[in-house]
């Protein structure tokens, strides 16, 4: 199993687990909370079949990666991503991030620019700025995040049960677009995550990415479900698309937060079409 070292904590390395499959133009998939790179299983086969090199990795604190007690902020998450990209010597790559992964994409461009990157896709992402403030009235009240933190401290396993219900809008889609077995598998992955990370990531959800998004200068696709109960589209996807020059917004009708599973066919079609535009354009230029 491949790992890349992104730092140290006391006597131990902080290592990220990643998988690197296929050949062709690289696509880096960045997962959401509280899952791992394995959550992209509905997207990976189609991307490989279409001829892309597909790279997934587990964010620090989650999946098979190290579980340090520090570094759960987007400057560090973006640095971890940059270290992975540099380690693999990627060029002409596309970044695709779901939920928290949208924050990595925004901060990556904000800190490191677009050198080597050619496209970006943000699916149900946390940018641009989820916290309601005087200059951000469209955001979510701080009490919402405080109650989440309190619930995690009290019983994170019980919190995850409720979280996954809203991740999939289980009252509408359980037994139809998502099975109980999938939710159970998610719970198992979440239970194995670092207790520290599970709590410490919550404040990162309302980091301000507005200046970062202004630096995204590659073609960008924003996909968001219009029934997202975790990251409301009016506070996130719609605004992100406006803040990135030339970005395209695709709204998934009736889509919950985890549209990468419940509406995988629709999401995959949009991904492959968007990625294919680049390939076709290059072909025409050639």
Of 66, 206, 228, 263, the active-site residue reads 228
Check: CB of residue 46 under 8 Å from CB of residue 272: yes
The DSSP call for residue 244 is: S
Tell me if residue 66 falls in helix, strand or coil. coil
31 counts as catalytic: no
The DSSP code sequence of 199-231 is: HHHHHHTT---HHHHTT--S-EEEEEETT-SSS
What six digits make up the tokens of 87?
A: 């380690």
Residue 159: closest CA among 192, 199, 211:
199
What six digits make up the tokens of 181?
A: 């077995």
What six digits make up the tokens of 239?
A: 């605004």
Please give the pLDDT value at position 278.
57
- Rounded to two decimals, the pTM is 0.95
Mean pLDDT of all residues belonging to the chain:
96
Of 31, 206, 224, 257, the active-site residue reads 257
Q: What share of the chain is helix, strand, coil (3-state, %, to 5)?
A: 45, 20, 35
What six digits make up the tokens of 128?
A: 């641009």
First-to-last CA distance in the chain? 38
For the domain covering 3-285, report its CATH number: 3.40.50.1820
Contacts of 209 (CB under 8 A, 6+ apart): 74, 103, 106, 107, 110, 126, 127, 128, 129
Residue tagged 């991503």 (tokens): 81
| Local mean pLDDT, 10-residue blocks, the chain (286 residues) | 94 98 98 98 98 98 98 98 98 98 98 97 98 94 96 98 97 98 97 98 97 98 98 97 98 98 98 81 36
Check: CB of residue 2 under 8 Å from CB of residue 20: yes
Of 99, 194, 198, 204, the active-site residue reads 99
Calpha distance 106→110 (Å, rounded) = 6
The strand pairing partners of 256, in sequence order, are: none
Please give the pLDDT value at position 277.
87
Q: What is the pLDDT of residues 134-190, one digit of tens each?
A: 999 989 999 999 999 999 999 999 999 999 999 999 999 999 999 999 999 999 999
Tell me if residue 131 falls in helix, strand or coil. strand
128: preceding bond cis by omega (within 30 degrees): yes
Residue tagged 């207790």 (tokens): 195
217 counts as catalytic: no
Residue ranges of domains in the chain: 3-285
228 counts as catalytic: yes
What six digits make up the tokens of 187?
A: 């719970």
């Amino acid at each position: 199993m491949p790992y890349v070292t992104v730092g140290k904590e006391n006597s131990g390395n902080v290592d990220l687990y990643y998988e690197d499959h296929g050949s062709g133009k690289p696509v880096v998939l960045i997962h959401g909370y509280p899952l791992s790179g394995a959550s992209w299983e509905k997207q990976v086969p189609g991307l490989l079949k279409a001829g892309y090199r597909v790279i997934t990795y587990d964010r620090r604190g989650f999946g098979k990666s190290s579980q340090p007690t520090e570094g759960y902020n987007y400057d560090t998450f973006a640095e971890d991503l940059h270290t992975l990209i540099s380690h693999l010597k990627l060029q002409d790559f596309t970044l695709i991030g779901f939920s928290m992964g949208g924050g990595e994409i925004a901060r990556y461009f904000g800190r490191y620019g677009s050198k080597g990157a050619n496209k970006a896709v943000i699916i149900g992402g946390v940018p641009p700025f989820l916290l309601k403030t005087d200059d951000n009235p469209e955001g979510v009240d701080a009490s919402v995040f405080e109650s989440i933190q309190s619930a995690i401290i009290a019983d994170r396993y019980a919190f995850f049960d409720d979280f996954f219900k809203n991740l999939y809008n289980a009252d509408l889609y359980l037994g139809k677009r998502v099975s109980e077995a999938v939710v159970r598998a998610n719970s198992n992955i979440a239970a194995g995550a670092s207790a520290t990370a599970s709590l410490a990531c919550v404040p990162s959800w309302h980091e301000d990415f507005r200046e970062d998004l202004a630096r995204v200068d590659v073609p960008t696709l924003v996909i968001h479900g219009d029934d997202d109960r975790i990251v409301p589209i009016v506070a996130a996807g719609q605004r992100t698309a406006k803040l990135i020059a030339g970005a395209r917004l695709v709204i998934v009708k009736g889509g919950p937060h985890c549209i990468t599973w419940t509406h995988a066919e629709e999401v995959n079609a949009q991904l492959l079409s968007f990625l294919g535009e680049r390939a076709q354009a290059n072909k025409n230029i050639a």
